[in-house]
Structure 1
Amino acid sequence: MDPEKMDVVREEAISPSNEPIQQNQVFHKEPLHRDPHGLPVIPQPTAHKDDPLNWHPALKLSVCLQVSWLALLGPLSAAVANPSFVLMSHTFGLSVEEASYELTVFLVCAGVGPLAVVPFANAYGRRPVYLLGNLIAAITNIIAGYCDTWAGIMITRVFNGLGAGAVIAMGAATICDLYFVHQRGVYMGIYTLALTSGAHVAPLLGGFIAQSLGWRSCFYIPGYIQLGTFVLTLFSLPETRYSAAHRSDSTPYLEQTYFQNLVFKRSKAPGRRPNLRDFYRPFEMLKLVAILCPAVLYMACFGYGTVLFALTGAKLFTTLYGFTTAQTGLMLSIPLLLGGITGEFSAGWVTDWLSNRHAKRNNGDRLPEARLTAIYGALFVPVGVIIEGVCLSHSETVSWVGSAFGMGIANMGLQIATTTIYAYATDVSSSAEISTIFNAFRQIFSCLISFYAIPFAERIGIQYAWLTFAIIVVILLIPVVFLKFQGPKWRNLPSQKPPL
């Protein structure tokens, strides 16, 4: 795309209605906005103050941090109970694997739920989804803490997943609402770091909470935190969905105030009620190689770079190293947190730098594939998985430190892959369905790990099971590497145009 040839009027980055602008509409011409390097920004902002692209940087950052906190809080509230699977199994007379199915149910519902929610968010706004989804997650977590039956626990996990999943699926779309393409890597990195770190902060808290207060507290304490967050976002998280499509000479334009963005006053987007196609539009995006291949790689990196450790750690570290619940929580938290933070230092700003460097060398052409140079960092995922598998297989002679090192390496690769893939995919298409697709792939794939990881390891050995998982990641990385070189050619094929 040549920015100089773009219409100077911004088309909606994430269309709530997915309807093309009528050709006979007349728009005001505006000056071409440029970045600090003198290159035209993408997308071009309007002249209106209520355009999120024109908001004050402090307000943008505030929204980014709130959305990131919500993305962290959903997985955190679900994973606080992970170190207490052993305690829960004793309470309900289950095996540890069966106790872990409460997390499995959450993952499935968190992946499937947003598919039905995003069309309404596109039509009526993202703010109601953030608020209602987080409120549902809070209430169901609190109820779970007081459940006396396993059936009650599982029912709350269903609704908790639906609520938290809807919130998680909106984050990338909101970042696209707020920031230009040349800025998205950094702020998408903040969001993705929060998204992946929630499940890593959780065991750090969950281990000590479960050991000191019991497993029930692992549910209602995060629930009360979510409830407090609901009150905070009710007064501080504005609507970011915006469209300039009705800015014709004959149509008066009334800007919305910050307060109006808080009281659910519908914005001036070319709105309509969701139709049937809106609900299967995410599946239409799967025809795009530039979306499908990164989505498949991302689900494998996420599943084997973090969820594998969360679902197997309680049993393996208790059995092999005799860890207490608190020690298991520390093991499932600190290495992964350090790995994720280290990985992000090599991800968000790096992808922006790669994109800007390519644009400066090519007359402002911001090629999405320029960001994919950073995808090689995803190789840390299989390296770390192999290290942990070998160390666990030789637990009698190898310290737990080796496993912790492997987990950290794997999560470092996951963070690099996550930020790079999100930044690349939203450059290809800023559609809100992108985040929904990634969320669905990630959650559904991750939930299946609990059914086969331990049985597979018991059959062929941990070392070879983990090696198999590592090979899967490497194989799925190959198509994305091809995208780096062939992506522009493939995306120009008629069959690879994003659906309207």
Structure 2
Amino acid sequence: MEETHQTPCPEGKEMIHTHNEHATKTCGSYISEELKAYIVQRHGTLELDPLPSSLPQDPLNWPLWMKNMNLLMVAFHTMMATFTAAAIIPAYSVFAEKYGISVHQASYLTSVQILTMGIFPQIWSPIAARFGRRPIFLVSVLGACICNIGGCFCHTYATQMVTRILNTIFICPPLGIGSGVVTDIFFRHERAQKMGWWTLMTTIGTPLGPFLYGFLIQRAPYQWMFGIFAIINFCQFLGYLFFASETMGFRTPASSNSSSTSTSPAATIKDAKPASWTDSFKIRRINPAPFTLTSFLSYLNLALNPSVLVPAIAYALVFCYANIAIIVMMPIAVGEKFHLNAQGVGLQYIAIILGSILGEQVSGPASDWFLARYSARTGIRAAAQRLWLTYPGFATVVTGLVVWGVQLQNAKDGVWNVTPMVGAAIASFGNQIITTTLITYAVDNCPLRSSEVGLFINMFRQIWGFIGPFYIPLMFENLNFAATAGVYCAIIAVAGFTTYVAHPNTTPTTQCPTQRRGLKAEQSADAHQATTPKTKGVGDIAAESARAAMASPETQTPRGKDTTTATAIGHAVPTA
């Protein structure tokens, strides 16, 4: 294949054989023997993407239990954002009586939260980039706790609306920056599985809320709902305060003339300083960059990247019609047709929860396995190979919606029928496969902007989800259930076909539009200053070290752990 560098590298840089999507060679910073020894000792291989630093505080060097604990806290935080918005659905009739409004007006308490979740993560992201994610998460859950306490004492519809908006503003940060947390903590070969934890919690928060709170509203005053929210938020605050660690600021982006997905280590062994216990309670600025309008809107230029734009649109459509439409129509379609109370309606959400959980058991591990098999066979890590898993997902969603709509249409009034819920479970299964795969694919193509990718995708999902409830009930009212489900299936089929058409043309690249602009100029400057390297290339050194590590009993990966096939420094290719 064509090589991006035909001339020697500039002084201070050496040739790295980068077996990424384009199988190119690139110039990278020299990596010391001390750092290589640390990485091999800690991880058992140099074939990692991204390459960790030598700092024990670097999230990539954390023990697995610590990585999983931090990810689970962020994933649960994400679930609470959608959970609190949807949990009030069983209380619509209570709010209507309490505030003297219609049930339809009460539903706006949820709709406005959906819209807020689509807008305000963009505000939090630049702040997190300058002060770190952990302080933002602490402020987030503490603010949400206070707002939920206020919700217990609202006596008018307007004041309750204000508390719901403020609560969502505070609780929403991980909806946008959660993908950045996954990218900072985990290597690329395990990214889909771990990204799936975050996406699953985002998905099941919506049906889990009305499922659990249907029991509560049936038996206790609605104030208990907000009180439990506040208790959970305060427990989250304590969890972040004592157990969470910062995930930002340990690595610097690789040079823009690199095609690698890696980031360069920010420090070497000699730079490592043990952190004191009190450091975790200090809030300091980690990025001196000033706040500008561009810093709040820069994520929008991801629309120029089809490998982010196409997944964002396809995912938004599927999420709206295979998740939100079913959830919104559950009290109206299922509750009224089968004469169910709030508790009975809540039980129907079990189908969506189970379908989503089962879908995640397939999507994350299967995506990583598929990519690993392809990489082992070809030596190329092409993120586009993940997309093949979405097509069974689209087919499953269409099948589930057809079953749900047709069986609901044919069901007898007042006689409960499980078959529509089977269709809902099938649709949720496919929705989760599509969710994890498309988001991981988009992040793989812009790993240095993973948080912005999360913001971009979240914006499409939430805004489309906000618009949906305004016309979805009208469609079911004017058409029948089967016909409306057919329309949604057609829209989703178009989304799947668009993904398929764009698949060959969205050749995975690890450089987003803004990262590519200065590429040619920087390469020309490097070529002009080029000198012949006087030392062995880092790719050769890495290969020798990797072979020695694999041959040595002391550094061989223990049985039962992941092993890798040596291809190039900075890219792990798990052996299938």
Q: How does 1:197-208 map to 2 (within 5 A)?
A: 197-208=204-215
Q: Distance between the aligned counterparts of 2:375 and 2:43, measured in 1?
A: 13
Q: Note if contact 1:308-1:449 (Cα within 8 Å) is conserved in structure 2.
A: yes
Kindly provide the amino acid, as one letter, of the partner of residue 81 in structure 2: G
User: Where in structure 2 are the equivalents of 1:50-129 lying within 5 Å?
Assistant: 50-129=57-136
Q: Which moved more, 1:246-255 or 1:126-135?
A: 246-255
Cα-to-partner distance string for 1:82-130 (whole Å, 9 max, x where unaligned): 1222332233333332221111000101110011111111121111221
- Deviation sequence 1:263-301 (CA, Å, 0-9, x none): 24547x664233221111110111110001100111112
Shift of residue 394 of structure 1? Answer: 2.4
Residue 366 (structure 2) aligned to one of 347, 350, 362: 350
Counterpart residue number, 1:391: 407
- Measured after TM superposition, the shift of residue 484 of structure 1 is 3.2
Q: Which one of 214, 225, 229 corresponds to residue 218 of structure 1?
A: 225
Aligned to 2:36: 31
Q: 1:360 aligns with which of 376, 395, 398?
A: 376
Q: Letter of the aligned partner of 2:124 in structure 1?
A: V
**SS of the residue 1:295 aligns to:** helix
Matches within 5 A, 1:198-347: 198-245=205-252, 253-255=271-273, 257=275, 259=277, 262-266=280-284, 271-331=288-348, 333-347=349-363
Tell me what 1:401 maps to.
Answer: 418
Q: In structure 2, do the counterparts of structure 1 residues 248 and 49 end up closer, same or farther at CA, with 3 Å as the change threshold?
A: closer
Kept in 1: contact 2:359–2:432 (CA 8 A): yes
Offset, 1:317? 2.3
Gaps of 5+ in 2: 17-26, 253-263, 519-576
Change (3 A) 1:50 1:250: closer
Give me the whole-angstrom Cα distance separating, in 2, the residues matched to 1:494 and 1:240: 22
CA contact (8 A) 1:139 1:227 kept: no
Aligned residue number for residue 463 of structure 1:
482
Give the residue type in structure 2 aligned to 1:99: A
How many corresponding residue pairs?
A: 484
Give distance in 2, aligned partners of 1:24 and 1:478: 39
The structure having more radius of gyration, on CA atoms, is 2
Please name the residue that 1:447 is paired with: 466
Residue 433 of structure 1 corresponds to 452
Tell me how far apart the structure 2 counterparts of residues 249 and 322 of structure 1 sit (CA, whole Å): 64
Q: Is the 8 A contact 1:189 1:347 kept in 2?
A: yes
CA contact (8 A) 1:295 1:437 kept: yes
Q: Hey, what's the Cα distance between the residues in 2 that align with 1:126 and 1:8?
A: 34
SS at match of 1:366: coil
Alignment check: 8 A CA contact 1:287 1:496 kept = no
- Cα distance in structure 2, aligned partners of 1:372 and 1:428: 12
Q: CA deviation at 1:151?
A: 0.7
TM-score between both structures, scaled by the size of structure 1 = 0.88
After the TM superposition, which of the residue ranges 69-78 and 24-33 deviates more from structure 2? Answer: 24-33
Matched residue, 1:43: 50
Tell me by how many angstroms 1:334 deviates.
0.6
- RMSD over aligned CA atoms reads 3.3
Rounded to whole Å, the distance in 2 between the matches of 1:499 and 1:298 is 28
**Is the 8 Å Cα contact of residues 250 and 265 (structure 2) preserved in structure 1?**
no
Give the TM-score of the pair, scaled to structure 2.
0.77
Question: How far off is 1:445 after superposition?
Answer: 0.8
User: C-alpha separation between the residues in 2 aligned to 1:459 and 1:108?
Assistant: 26
Structure having greater relative contact order (Cα 8 Å, sep ≥ 6): 2
Label 1:39 to 1:350 Cα distance change in 2 as closer, same or farther (>3 A).
farther
CA distance in 2, matches of 1:102, 1:479: 34
SS in 1 for 2:123: helix
